[in-house]
A = this chain, B = another copy of it.
Amino acid sequence: MKSKIPSEEVAVKMNEWYKLIRAFEADKAEALKREIQYELEDMEENQDLLLYFSLMEFRHRIMLDKLKPMKDGDCQPPFSEMLTEIEMNQQKLTGLLEYYFYYFRGMYEFKQKNFISAISHYKRAEEKLEYVEDDIEKAEFLYKISEVYYHIKQTFFSMNYAGQALDIYKKYELYGMRRVQCKFIIAGNLMDAQQHEKALEYLECALEHAERLDDHYMIAAAYYNIGHCMYSLGDFCKAAEDFERAAAGFEAHSFQQVIQAVFSLTHIYFKTERYSDAAASYARGMKSAAEWEDEIYMTKFRLIKELYQGDGGQDSLKEYFDILESKELLADTEELLQDAAHFFHKRENYKAASYFFSRLVGVQKRLQMNNYA
C-alpha cells in the first residue's frame, strides 16, 4: 500500500506557490500548481489545506487576468503596482491567504521542531484571524494551537488558548465534542502543573458532557483521565474503578485504547497488592496488545509484572527499561522508573532504588532536551 503524502509537505509547496503568484511568475506558478494538484490526490485528509488550495486557485486566476494585456503587447504597469492593486481590491482574500500561509508554515516549523519559529508563525496567523469570518473556524485554530503548546509543555499558553476556544464552542450546541476535548487539554495542563483537584473539576464536567452526547469514546477517555487524576491524588481504589470503566468502554467499541486502560488498571492492582486481580488484568491486557500487535505495551506489561512479581533481580527489569528508552518513550520511561525506584526504596533495597533514581534523573534531562530541535 502506498503511504499518503503528509499534508505539511504539500503545505510547504502551497506557500511556495503563493510566493510565485505574488511575484507574477506565471509559468512557474502554473507548473507548481499542477504538481500540487497531483499530490493533493494522494495526500492524507486535511480540509483546511483543500480550502487553502481553492482560495489560492482563485488568487492565481486573478494574477493571470492581470497578466493578459501583456500578452497582447499592451503597456503594462510594473508588477509591484499590480500587486498592490490586486491586494487592495481583494483585501479579504489576501488576509485569508496570509492567515493560511502563516498557519501552515507554523505547522511545518512545529513538525521540524523549530518551536520558536513555529510560535512566530502562529502569532502572525492569529493576527490575520480577523479575516476568518466563521466563529467555529476561529475556534478550531485556537484549539489546534492549544494542543500544539500542550505537547511542548508551554502550559499556561496552552490553557489560555484552550480557554479561548472553549468560550467560542460554548455558544454552539453542535460542538459538544470539541468542548469535551478543550476540557481534556485544560485538565492535562493542570495535571502537568500538579493541580490535580482543579483538573478533576474539568474532567468531571467533561465526563458529564460526554455522557449527554452519548459518545462512547469520549466517555471512556474521560474515565481514563479521571483515573490518572485519582491515581496522582493517591486514591488508588477510585482510580482502579475509573480505569475499569475506561477499559470496558474502549473494549465494548473495539478502540485500541483499551490496552492502555487495562495497563493502568493492572499497574494499580500490582501496586495495591491485589495480585489475583493483577494476574487476570495482565492476561487481558497482553491479549489485547497481541491482537493489536502492540509490542511497546507488551514490554510495559512485562516490565510491571517483573517489578512487582519478579524474583527481585533487576536484569530483565533493566532490559525492559532499555527497550522503552531506546524507542524514545521517555515520558513512559520516566513514570515507570519513578515507580521502580520508589518500589525498591520502600522495600529497603536501597542499591536498586538508587540505581533507578539516578537513571530517572538522566531520563528527565533527556525529556527536557527532547523538547528542543
Contacts and interface: CB of A to CB of B under 8 A. Distances in A.
Interface string A342-373: 10110010110110011011001110110110
Contacts of A360: 357, 361
Interface stretch (A54-62, A154-162, A173-181): A154-162
Contacts of A154: 154-157
A120 interface: yes
Contacts of A341: 354, 357-358, 361
A270 to B, nearest CB: 20
Interface stretch (A132-140, A192-200, A223-231, A237-245): A192-200
A249 interface: no
A338 B361 CA distance: 8
A372 B160 CA distance: 14
Contact of A194 (B116, B350, B358, B372): B372
A350 B160 CA distance: 44
Interface string A38-81: 00000000000000000000000000000000000000000000
Number of copies: 2
A18 interface: no
A342 B193 CA distance: 27
A371 B193 CA distance: 7
A348 to B, nearest CB: 8
Given A160-B120, A163-B116, A194 B155 contact: no
A168 interface: no
A231 to B, nearest CB: 14
Contact of A353 (B119, B120, B152, B357): B357
Contact of A354 (B120, B345, B361): B345
Interface of A: 115-116, 119-120, 152, 154-157, 159-160, 163, 192-195, 338, 341-342, 344-345, 348, 350-351, 353-354, 357-358, 360-361, 364-366, 368-369, 371-372
Given A120-B160, A194-B368, A345-B357, 13 more contacts: A154-B155, A154-B156, A192-B368, A193-B368, A193-B372, A195-B369, A341-B354, A342-B361, A345-B354, A350-B353, A353-B358, A357-B360, A357-B361
